[in-house]
Structure 1
Amino acid sequence: MVVTAPPSLDADPFDEEVLRDPLALQAELRDAGPVVHLRRYDVYGLARHEQVHAALTDWQSFQSGAGVGLANFREEKPWRPPSLLLEADPPRHDAPRAVLTKILGPRALRRLRESWHAEAEALVDEVLTDREFDAVPALAQAFPLRVFPDAVGLPRDDREHLLAYGDHAFNAFGPPNGLVARGAPRVAELSGRVNAQCARDKLADGGFGARIWAAADHGDITHEQAPLVVRSLLTAGVDTTVHALAAILYALATHPGQWRRLRDDPGLARVAFDEAVRWESPVQTFFRTATTDCDIAGTTIPEGRKILMFLGAANRDPRRWDSPDAFDLSRDTSAHVGFGMGLHQCVGQHVARLEAEALLTALARRVRRIEPAGTPVRHLNNTLRAWASMPVRIHPE
């Protein structure tokens, strides 16, 4: 095989204008080749679906344990203890993953389904007192903050800080730019509040958090690992779901034909959610680190070098998807990488799908039409594609 140097670009994927609208850069990266060298950060970029999917599923060659952000934990000290789910590889990753897979399994979701649907109905009743509102705080943020911390076992008060903490955690996966600097003054405060909520005595009996501590009592994980697993659950279980719900609300408000399809068949709620996760990719990027000299499509990535996987670009790759820029409920989304893929695939994705199913079903039952009522505003984050504001107008039955 002939080894060639990859094309080299000076583009900055973490520039605020690119974060606001990354589609043009994503297309440039895909068209440049299967591997691109990004000179600004001296990392290798993968933007095509084939290569991103392959890297996600090959944890032996592309490790998470050196950090899933730009920082290389082989050389730099992380700003907080690394996540046992996102930033660990086997064997360190195995026991925490197995515990959470069991706790968040089908039996737990069956128990939650009825109550979460009831909570969604109650929230929609509250929201429908106004015909125009901002869907981000009113629905996309309100519903996860209403039901998920309850399921974990957190007290009812003092939940808003979870969004700020998660926002900084995902910003910190990028370079130390202005977005990171803006969140830095609150890092100690937010970390302290989240870490305190992961303690055994702060968690209600029967919740996900208490069950994680029970797994430590049983010897499935250590007692030192238990609060880190709870923290991972809180970090990944709120922000990403909030932004995925905002993505589906935006998609349906701007695609009235697809909203009618969902209203005619509410059973498409989970299909619609997955298509929105593919279309918007709330998690846009993650890094890996080469464990050895790796060949990708004729390019050798040296051992120890960082690889930036563009999940959002892969999810709109025309080499994999027909009409990838279209939001289409008839699409088979089974290969999308919005939740990752392989060993590190999002362990809470079925929880997020249940939240989306509950909220979309409640809306479809009560709302004839949903449409934009103003210009939406992006919330910028180095890793997440998110909305800060989304004015909508609803037409109830």
Structure 2
Amino acid sequence: MSVGSPTLVRASRAPVYEVDIYSDEVIRDPYPHYRRIRALGAAVWLPLNGLWAIGRHADVRAVLADHVNFRSGHGVSGNSAANKIAPGNLLASDPPLHDHLRRIVAAPLSPRSLAMVKERIEETADALVDRLVQRSSFDGMADLAQYLPVSIVSELVGMPEHGRENMLRWASAVFDMLGGDNERAAAAMPIIMEMRAYTANEATRDKVRPGGWVAMLYDAADQGVIRPEQVQVLMRDYLGPSLDTTIFATGHLMYLLGQNPDQWQMLRDDPTLIPNAINEAVRLESPIRGFTRYAAADRHVGDTLIPSGDRALILYASANRDERRWERPDTFDVKRILTDHVGFGHGIHSCAGMQLARLEIRSIVTAMTKQVKSIQVGEPTLAMNNVLRGYERLPMTFLAA
């Protein structure tokens, strides 16, 4: 069944929620809608989107782990146009192709590879925080959260300058396109075509940085590990996931620490809690709301049958606040024991770059514990995006320790 087609018969005995999950209203304040979806059932039909919504923690993890029956190779978007052009990249592929591509794309993101850039990232973070402490105020997004991804990670990717300048704009469009069939997705399409033209025509072997991640893709093609035409496809996997998710997670953590000075003091007193604080911020304010999966066979989720050919929207952001799993799920607690949140996904499609994201955020917060006594935050401006949740702007001030 295609997204958006009538499902009166199939949904007649299933819970139904009449809301457009990609509407401005839901994007601005999603959590009451997620609670309603969780309360209605394990799988809830969204007739306005032509999707099943899965929002409970246990069910989300089970579906993400079942990549045989809930597939990514047909695309992971909430609209058919994006799903037609997406298959073949890391996000929209199934084994064995997915496993092969992940080995290539994830090579520079391994702990061993990241150890080679760890010192540089930490030194850059120290210098960044030192500069921000000297300022009366700053934008926590443009001046802090974006700095390491744009200054270091984009260099590691190794795109020519024009590509580096446009990476944030392209990444935002990619995630808009991965949402529903709406104006945001339509507006994203020409930007994505621009990105694709760039990867095909400008990010050529002679123009990318030698030794960079994109150059490694060309090397893999030269060695016959991947086909030459796959270089451009995999190149695009570095454009979005390496930036926006880390940037938004950083912004969320900054705002939460500013809003909860007692939690910030705990980190200053015990910096070993920093990795926990990062996980807690990602749990509480998941940068990625959710992707869809294609049902390759009739499958029950709870008591509800999802028919073969339907799509299920896997709501990571809902699962991470499921009251069935978490005590005080809407509370930020840096001492919370976190072993199974799904902010970085779960299963074979878990985020390949999550260790890089953690390294960048940990480096910033570690520098802050040494130099910042208190964090003041103003009212953030939400970025309107179909899939991402994060801030466009975040007024901040650091008071020196």
TM-score range, shorter chain: over 0.9
Note if 1:16 corresponds to 2:24.
Answer: yes
Contact 1:62/1:289 (8 A) holds in 2? yes
State the match for 1:300 in structure 2.
305
CA distance in 1 between partners of 2:87 and 2:174 (Å): 11
State the match for 2:294 in structure 1.
289
More deviation, 153-162/21-30? 153-162
Cα offsets for 1:164-220 (capped at 9, x unmatched): 111111011122323234444544334433555643223222222222222222332
CA distance in 2 between partners of 1:18 and 1:352 (Å): 27
Note if 1:388 corresponds to 2:388.
Answer: no
Q: 2:39 is matched with which residue: 23, 27, 31?
A: 31
CA drift of 1:331 comes to: 1.2
CA distance in 2 between partners of 1:283 and 1:42 (Å): 20
State the match for 2:325 in structure 1.
320
The residue type equivalent to 2:371 in the other structure is R
Deviating runs (4+, > 6 A) in structure 1?
A: none
State the match for 1:274 in structure 2.
279
CA drift of 1:262 comes to: 1.3
Contact 2:170/2:239 (8 A) holds in 1? no
Note if 1:336 corresponds to 2:341.
Answer: yes
CA distance in 1 between partners of 2:342 and 2:208 (Å): 32
Contact 2:141/2:393 (8 A) holds in 1? yes
What secondary structure does 1:288 align onto?
strand
Cα offsets for 1:65-109 (capped at 9, x unmatched): 11111134xxx5747453521101012212111123333111111
CA distance in 2 between partners of 1:272 and 1:384 (Å): 20
State the match for 2:383 in structure 1.
379
CA distance in 1 between partners of 2:92 and 2:224 (Å): 22
State the match for 2:230 in structure 1.
225
TM-score by length of structure 1 reads 0.93
Q: 2:368 is matched with which residue: 363, 369, 392?
A: 363
CA drift of 1:124 comes to: 1.9
State the match for 2:3 in structure 1.
none
What secondary structure does 2:242 align onto?
helix
Cα offsets for 1:332-386 (capped at 9, x unmatched): 22201111100111111101111111111112211110012x3211011110101
CA distance in 2 between partners of 1:81 and 1:43 (Å): 18
The residue type equivalent to 1:12 in the other structure is D
Cα offsets for 1:139-179 (capped at 9, x unmatched): 11122101101222234565231111111110111223232
CA drift of 1:300 comes to: 1.2
In the TM superposition, 1:104-123 aligns within 5 A as 104-123=109-128
What secondary structure does 2:309 align onto?
coil
CA distance in 2 between partners of 1:189 and 1:206 (Å): 25
CA distance in 2 between partners of 1:208 and 1:168 (Å): 22
Name stretches of at least 5 consecutive residues in structure 2 with no aligned partner. Answer: 1-10
Contact 2:174/2:192 (8 A) holds in 1? no
The residue type equivalent to 1:384 in the other structure is L
State the match for 1:65 in structure 2.
73
CA distance in 1 between partners of 2:38 and 2:330 (Å): 14
Name stretches of at least 5 consecutive residues in structure 1 with no aligned partner. Answer: none
* Count of aligned pairs between the two proteins: 391
CA distance in 2 between partners of 1:90 and 1:63 (Å): 10
In the TM superposition, 1:42-57 aligns within 5 A as 42-57=50-65
CA distance in 2 between partners of 1:247 and 1:144 (Å): 16
Structure 1 residues 229 and 86: CA distance shift in structure 2, 3 A: same
Contact 1:196/1:202 (8 A) holds in 2? no
CA distance in 1 between partners of 2:273 and 2:103 (Å): 30
CA distance in 2 between partners of 1:219 and 1:185 (Å): 32
The residue type equivalent to 2:75 in the other structure is G
Contact 1:200/1:213 (8 A) holds in 2? yes
Contact 1:84/1:92 (8 A) holds in 2? no
Note if 1:94 corresponds to 2:99.
Answer: yes
State the match for 2:5 in structure 1.
none
What secondary structure does 1:277 align onto?
helix
In the TM superposition, 1:167-186 aligns within 5 A as 167-186=172-191
CA drift of 1:395 comes to: 0.5
Contact 2:289/2:315 (8 A) holds in 1? yes
Contact 1:164/1:190 (8 A) holds in 2? no
Cα offsets for 1:258-292 (capped at 9, x unmatched): 11111122232222111111110000111001001
Provide the aligned C-alpha RMSD in A. Answer: 2.0
TM-score by length of structure 2 reads 0.92
Note if 1:251 corresponds to 2:256.
Answer: yes
What secondary structure does 2:164 align onto?
coil
Q: 1:241 is matched with which residue: 224, 238, 246?
A: 246
More deviation, 148-157/225-234? 148-157
What secondary structure does 1:45 align onto?
strand
CA distance in 2 between partners of 1:47 and 1:225 (Å): 34
The percentage of counterpart residues that share the same residue type is 36
Contact 1:69/1:174 (8 A) holds in 2? yes
Structure 1 residues 37 and 79: CA distance shift in structure 2, 3 A: closer
CA drift of 1:117 comes to: 0.6
